[in-house]
Amino acid sequence: MGTIWFCIVAVMLAAYVVMDGFDLGAGIIYLVVAKTSADRQRIHKAIGPVWDGNEVWLLAAGGTLYFAFPQLYASGFSGFYLPLMIVLWLLMLRAIGLEFRHHIENPVWQGFLDVVFSVSSMLLAIFFGAALGNVIRGVPLNQDGYFFLALWTNFKVSALPGVLDWYTIMAGVVALVTLTVHGALYIAIKTEEELSLRARAVAVVLWPLQFFLTCSSLAATYFIRPQLMNNYENHPIGLLVPLLVFASLGVMIWASPKGKEKLAFVASGTYITAMLVGAVFALYPVVLPSSGDPANSLTIANSLAGEHGLRVGLVWWSLGMVLAVGYFVFLYRMFRGKVRLEEPGY
């Protein structure tokens, strides 16, 4: 049951990053590719029907984490209290920037809300990447399974690090570039003419940087935690994951210049999923490693909820997922195709 719920939480987090990642990316490129008010309205129409639904996956993943791994939830939410509050404010500011723009006709306020929407999207991508970097690097867990992290200390990876150090900042930059490309490809699919071409150009221009950061982050991860390679050595099938990462990058750079945005977008989603799967595979069965004594790490065994509750919860989770997947299939089919300003709707 522990392995099943470990995979469930990982799948839900991956679903959130892939699905909400493209509208975060749309916000990041918003001020760059949208040259006119009409362009900005098109981007709003492209993500408007789906962005808040995509964020449900984050809430669902948090609820599932609380249900299945209560010790991990308690430790993580207490130790990461400050960055979690920052993320919460950024989520609210992003929603305000996106929604309030359509209720205020003043161009000054519209411009201000556009900046709020774009900057908060950018910072969210960075903080989400840094959060994953913290999990991979490890945190200073004590014997009771709790820890405290300052927002930053000396930016070095040590036994007592901060939330932000050189490695977690690198992870944040990887996430920023990855989601920017992901969002640019989505906007290229959903829009037409010059806006679509500008969005596609962003993805093509950033691809070399994405490739370089991918290689650099993998090397840096091995440098700070070489023991993460143990699962790959013991189970060579895991080596298919990095192969999938680089194959996805290859498809992206082949498809994007040719105008095959849908194929490139699918490859981008595959790349994101493979990167997350690679991290999860390397960590298993640890759910939160200790940067000090490895014996203090939180694992599936010492953070899992009761067996009976997990079995009952699996039934209800399955029913909930059937409803959620059905809803999203209906939603995306309803709003498929290119967006046009003359059409009714958001």
Looking at residue 343, its pLDDT comes to 65
Residue 290, classed as helix, strand or coil, is strand
Q: Is the per-residue pLDDT at 345 higher than 60? A: no
Write out pLDDT tens, residues 131-186: 999 999 999 999 888 898 888 888 888 877 889 999 999 999 999 999 999 999 99
Lookup: tokens for 232: 């790959």
Looking at residue 149, its pLDDT comes to 87
Looking at residue 102, its pLDDT comes to 83
- 172 or 103, which is more confident? 172
Looking at residue 73, its pLDDT comes to 93
Write out pLDDT tens, residues 80-102: 998 999 999 999 999 999 989 88
- Residue pair 87/130 in contact (Cβ under 8 Å)? The answer is no
- Residue pair 292/146 in contact (Cβ under 8 Å)? The answer is no
d(CA 209, CA 255): 17
Looking at residue 293, its pLDDT comes to 87
Lookup: tokens for 136: 């991979």
Q: Is the per-residue pLDDT at 346 higher than 60? A: no
Write out pLDDT tens, residues 185-223: 999 999 988 999 999 999 999 999 999 999 999 999 999
Write out pLDDT tens, residues 221-259: 999 999 999 999 999 999 999 999 999 999 999 999 998
d(CA 19, CA 36): 26
285-289 long-range CB contacts below 8 Å, 24 or more apart? Answer: 285/2, 285/3, 285/6, 287/6, 287/69, 287/72, 288/72, 288/75, 288/76, 288/135, 288/138, 288/139, 288/141, 289/135, 289/136, 289/137, 289/138, 289/139, 289/225
Looking at residue 43, its pLDDT comes to 94
Identity of the amino acid at 172: G
What is the third-level CATH fold of 2-334?
A: Formate dehydrogenase/DMSO reductase fold (1.20.1630)
- Residue pair 148/191 in contact (Cβ under 8 Å)? The answer is no
